[in-house]
Amino acid sequence: MEGRGALVTGGGGGIGSAVAARLLEAGARVASLDLPGAPVPEGAAGVPCDLGSGEGVRAAVAAAEAALDGRLRVVVHCAGITRDGLLWKLPDEDWDAVIRVNLGSAFHLLKACTPALRRAGEGSVVLVSSINGERGKFGQSNYAASKAGLNALARTAARELGRFGIRVNAVAPGFVETAMTRDLPAEVRKRAGDETVLGRVAGPGEIADAILFLASDLSRHVTGQVLRVDGGQLIA
């Protein structure tokens, strides 16, 4: 990844910070887009951004390109939120917020980054989805729908951008041990591990390793794919 610039959304989160660290270790320069005040991964350039705003995303991408000296080649969309609730009780604003931040921001991000990647004649985009985008999840109609949308967006963008040398893929984690999920009840976390065929949930670094593979030339003939990194949780 030497000489390549990488933009990571949600770089202050559990998966995002692990992705930034892996990319930096591989020699990339990294710009982290996250909310103002969010932690910035060590060694990365922090770019404050409201990912729920198309205008905000465009401005942040321009700032990230400048921080990366115009060498943007990798885009990883890790940012996401949850607002859980049964669908017939879910407030409209909770549906709108999750779709806007998880899915809408990915559209704005792809749109804003495509000109730079086209000029370079190459690029790799990785959208962080979820196995819940394939199987659905009780109490997560908004989240599951947003992640299913990311899968479809990745495949469509792969078709449209492949002729410019730009690859687009998605990574679909299962349950991941992060600061957010550590707050869940112990029985929920145990059940997630029991659902896997490997008998445990993933750490953020294991998701980051898969993303590094898709970001690098090791996957240079891979595009339009949804790679599950779930320990076999979906097939169990």
Q: Which residues are catalytic?
A: 143
Q: How many CB atoms lie within 10 A of CB 87?
A: 12
Q: What tokens does 112 get?
A: 């804003």
Q: What tokens does 76 get?
A: 């990883």
Closest of 162, 236, 158, 173 to residue 205, by C-alpha: 173
